[in-house]
Structure 1
Amino acid sequence: MTENLSVKNQSLQEWLGYLEGIDPNRIELGLNRVKAVAAKLNLLKIAAYTIEVAGTNGKGSTAALIAGALNKSGIKTGLYTSPHLHVFTERVNIGGKNVDEALLCKAFYAVYEAAEQCGVSLTYFEYTTLAAFYCFKAANVQAAVLEIGLGGRLDAVNVVDADIAVITSIGFDHTALLGNTLAKIAYEKAGIIKKGAAACVVGKVDFEALNVIEAKAKAENVPLFCEDRDFNADFSDDGFWYKQGNRSDFYPLSKIPYICAASSITVLNLLKNLGADITVSAVNSALKTVSLPGRMQKICSFPTIYFDVAHNPPAALHLKQSLSNLPQTKGIKRAVVGMLKDKDIESVLHILKDSFDMWYVASLPGARGQSKERLKDALEQELGKNAVFCNKIKDYSCVKDALHAAVDEAHAEDTIIVFGSFVTVGEAGDCVDTIVKREE
């Protein structure tokens, strides 16, 4: 290939502009193209320990906790998650820090050049995934913790083989691509289980999904560890007991959702068995400090504002439970919500309809963004048309305006929850400092 200096010397913003120009509806199933480019760049093995984390919900938090404990143990770890909330470099984390932009640009050029040489085209996610792998290889990470983007079997991340496969949960989301039954969705996610893997760890899943995962693990001769069968966690106000077989250990409460803690501890114990020098103090420190933005993230008080990226029915159920566990106050709960067109909007709003006293619905930008009118209509179906006449449902052209209105109308003892999409939380985060002073 003739070196294209204008491409090679592009800034990160120019690279992202190039990637965002790729047709977002062009999702080409199959790993052949990605594998060809990965092989060209010698990226089919990127670390001594590779952990892949799939699941409908909880995979980002689980991946972050595992990576945090590894880094705190002195094991240089690459963490790949998606999407990002504020800056693209959030997706590629090395040793606990966001990737350097210069290295990421070098990675994008390497992927671009290799794809040209292989004569293949890549999607946005395939480009970013391979660039992350390039960065990890260049940084000589000892471990790589990789969040699956969609499904598992045909996801670009699955081009590398995991030493430990993790499936956090199985629920209904992306049904047009993954299938409309739990068994079909489980089949796609179980595709990350490969022959030669040390183990597969499964969180709490329905019997129908577990049967599919068990069959895949048996076919690949991979040991399976299932929550509530092989391990579990009992939580109290000051910590939790982790139990596996005759083993029982006490840990501090986690900042990530509790539902992710037991699976994460199981993975870390398995990594110890593989030779990783993970310390108890590092695990405790990670539990107490690691969190991902946008997961019941408290932004400020008086009024209290939380950000949560809940965007599908299982996540809505988790949010509902989290709301019921909040300290009781004299104030009311106000929802600022924006969602994408391809999500199960009616089911999410049905689950949360009784959790809020006031609703501020907002349109999201772009082709995938759902309109305020659709959200308002769906809420009217759940709450009745009187809710509109009583001003319990208000609509706005953007998240910024909706959040401004909620804060302006709130009393100090009220609680505001911003949810519905990474896009919603991202837009709220970009404007919240102009509304309230963020708590450190």
Structure 2
Amino acid sequence: MPTRASALLATATVAALLAATAPASASDGRHGPKPNGQRVGYFTQWGADSSAKRVQETGQAAKLTVINYAFGNVSADGTCFQTNDAGQGDAHDDYQRAFSAAESVDGVADAPEQELKGHFNQLRKLKAKNPQLRTVISLGGWSWSRYFSDAAATDEARKKFVSSCIDLYLKGDVPVLAGSPEGGRGAAAGVFDGIDIDWEYPGGGGDAGNVVRPEDGRNFTLLMREFRRQLDALSGKKGKHYLLTAAVAANETVADRLELPELSRSVDWLNLMAYDLHGPWEGKGPTGHQANLYSDPADPDPRQRSADQAVTHYQERGLPAGQLVLGAPLYGHGWTGVAAGPRAGLFQSATAAASDRSYREVEALPGTVHVDRDHGASWKYDGTTFYSYDTAEVLTRKARYARWNGLGGVMVWSLDGDDARGSAIAALDRGLRRD
């Protein structure tokens, strides 16, 4: 996922692969329509426009099946925890902050004596209005993956970590912290329907300072197996099925560390982060697509990365198509000082990176929108500033790709990037629904 910092600036049964579910080429129409899939949206706790009421009023909630709440942190001692220490957690927004009637999903203000307030309580209200919707706590992310390797390193550590996360988020035993009355045993029970692991990344390649071990890939498999064991024990024979998912990189090196056939036995699906293929870390350019569906032979990067390339790789390494959910960004990466060149700024040098902007912000910028239908990509260019982002047309195309290729569905980072009409989620919905 994008870093918390960039988000503040704007912002996964061993089965043989079936030929009928192999990804289609750009012009291939050989696959028949598939049933509607998962529609997963990440909800950022810190986003300026992150509110359950907004998810309801934009129409997003009615079109989603899962909301992933980002993020829960992993402590140095290998447990899930809540705190109000800066950079470590924000229990205040999670479950302590009182929402007024005007802010609340159902128009009812939080009472002073409530055990649960904050986003957690609002998500519970959102589910009450949308029976198809499940909410999942996402653990880690770019900034909070530091101690995953420790938490997964031994059988004892895995059992301890998983148990702590289930107690905190599924049993709802959120702590009563100093100076605030909220929390208590079972106070947040029923808010979350599962757990999403966003370990960035097993074996390295994530944020500076992350603990890394050569055996992280194997330990990730064992960690997810332990999650599945304890989640199933929590369910019992006749209880609800708790979701277990993970976010995974659209990066072959990282993917090859994962034991995908074994992993598929434990997870419901993996959310493929098929974005950030190019971005501001390439500040002088060349500009490029950050989330193109198909590889562009004109891309000067010899890897010529694409979502389709990543989907193919995961399937070739043993993940069934139905357990792969295709991610799309609701934000744009930009560059300034970009000459037009032959393709309206595409693959041109730049003087500097531009600040990341949300989908709705890029849509509102001056400039001309360009859509490359051959490669499933789009951008906006005003003569000097270039933003790579997914338009509604491209989002619909990606959802249709997921449906026609038998993938598990689509995912977005993140819901607060959409506009007031929920146009981006509506575009994905159209692609999953249409024949």
Greater relative contact order structure (CA < 8 Å, 6+ sep)? 2
TM-score by length of 1: 0.29
Which has a greater percent of helix? Answer: 1
TM-score by length of 2: 0.29
